[in-house]
Amino acid sequence: MLDALRHDAALVEAELDRLLPLPAPGPRRRLQEAVRYAVLGGGKRLRPFLLLQTARLFGVPPARALRAAAAIEMLHCYSLVHDDLPAMDDSSLRRGKPTVHRAFDEATAILVGDALLTHAFAVLADPQTHPDAELRCQLVAGLAGAGGIGGMIGGQAIDLADERKELDLEGIQELQSFKTGALIVEACRAGARLGEASQEEIEAVEEFGSALGLAFQIVDDLLDAEGDPTAVGKPVGQDAAADKATFVGRLGTEAARERAAALIEAAKEALATFGGRAALLQRTADFVLTRQV
């Protein structure tokens, strides 16, 4: 499983390196350097991995899948850069190195996020991603929905609100389905769309992504409560310090682990229709449950 993750991470890294502008002399150089600093050389690359693996279920040409995978990782990295800002989570460490606003400055970090967000859509809209303009529009709309007010950004707004402290389990689940789950679901959906999958097949991978995304966040909560910051690559204990309602806080660690395990089983079952072709995606679900980073 780890070999497959590393293999695809290397492919995505090379594609990101190719798609991101190289630093050039002039006033934009600092921004270009910061963009590459934010994206290259770190991260699990789970979302692009899910897109690539889902695309392989449907025989998508690798070059097309890699472009879409790079786009979704650009949007994910933008969200991390902005989440780390003093106005949000005020984090000093990300992926084992100083956050962008610490390594550069806050204004540059804001521009880095803006640049990555817009570049992600430029990549998806390019005919190299897929010759069918209607399908490219579906990819653009899907990523916009997953990343916008009805997805990741909406979840972040809930996360920052004072009401976050009072959320019950249903409210926490809704928050995380927006903030974390929406982009994971879109990674799976985009891979299926690139392969022109049937509606039934798209719904199956969406169900997989939804359960996987929620389990991923529960494990994230567990790592924040119990993890080693050196291994995790970012500060831990921030949720408790901010008095945020989390699955761990509401359920306790053991019940949270049980909830995550049940979700992983549901995710794997959602792929049963694909038989052995989906074995690696099912093993990915097991990895999410046992990960330490």
Mean local confidence (pLDDT), 140-165: 93
Using alpha carbons, list the distances in angstroms from residue 129 to 39, 183, 236, 246: 20, 19, 38, 38
Which has the minimum average pLDDT: 46-60, 77-91, 243-257? 243-257
Residue 228: per-residue pLDDT: 62
User: Is pLDDT at 90 greater than 90 in this prediction?
Assistant: yes
Model confidence pLDDT, tens digit, residues 223-263 = 988 866 655 555 666 666 566 788 898 999 999 999 999 99
Residue of 24, 53, 6, 57 lying closest to 195 (CA atoms): 57
Q: Could you identify the residue written with the tokens 């933008």?
A: 78
Confidence of residue 282 (pLDDT cuts 50, 70, 90): very high
Mean local confidence (pLDDT), 254-280: 96
Domain range enclosing 227: 2-290
> Crossing angle, helix 253-270 and helix 199-226, to 10 degrees?
160
What sign has the CA pseudo-torsion 255, 283, 194, 183? positive
Give me the percent of the chain exceeding a pLDDT of 90.
82
Residue 34: per-residue pLDDT: 98
Mean local confidence (pLDDT), 112-135: 98
User: Is pLDDT at 5 greater than 60 in this prediction?
Assistant: yes
Residue 192: per-residue pLDDT: 98
Instruction: Indicate the burial class of 153 (C-beta count within 10 angstroms; 0-12, 13-18, 19 or more).
Output: middle
Q: Residue 123's beta-bridge partner residues? A: none
Domains held by the chain: number = 1
User: Is pLDDT at 123 greater than 80 in this prediction?
Assistant: yes
User: Tell me, what amino acid is at 119?
Assistant: H
| Distance in angstroms (rounded) separating the CA atoms of residues 261 and 219 | 10
User: Is pLDDT at 292 greater than 80 in this prediction?
Assistant: no
Model confidence pLDDT, tens digit, residues 15-50 = 999 999 999 999 999 999 999 999 999 888 999 999
Mean local confidence (pLDDT), 110-138: 98
Residue 125: per-residue pLDDT: 98
| Distance in angstroms (rounded) separating the CA atoms of residues 60 and 196 | 9
Q: Which pTM was predicted?
A: 0.93
Mean pLDDT, all residues of the chain: 93
Residue 233: per-residue pLDDT: 57
Mean local confidence (pLDDT), 180-198: 97
What sign has the CA pseudo-torsion 129, 38, 112, 75? positive
Residue of 90, 79, 283, 38 lying closest to 182 (CA atoms): 79
User: Residue 28: which CATH number?
Assistant: 1.10.600.10
User: Is pLDDT at 119 greater than 80 in this prediction?
Assistant: yes
| Distance in angstroms (rounded) separating the CA atoms of residues 12 and 190 | 16
Residue of 192, 186, 245 lying closest to 210 (CA atoms): 186
User: Is pLDDT at 144 greater than 60 in this prediction?
Assistant: yes
Pair of tokens at residue 147: 């990343």
Residue 166: per-residue pLDDT: 87
Q: Could you identify the residue written with the tokens 């991470």?
A: 9
| Distance in angstroms (rounded) separating the CA atoms of residues 176 and 182 | 8
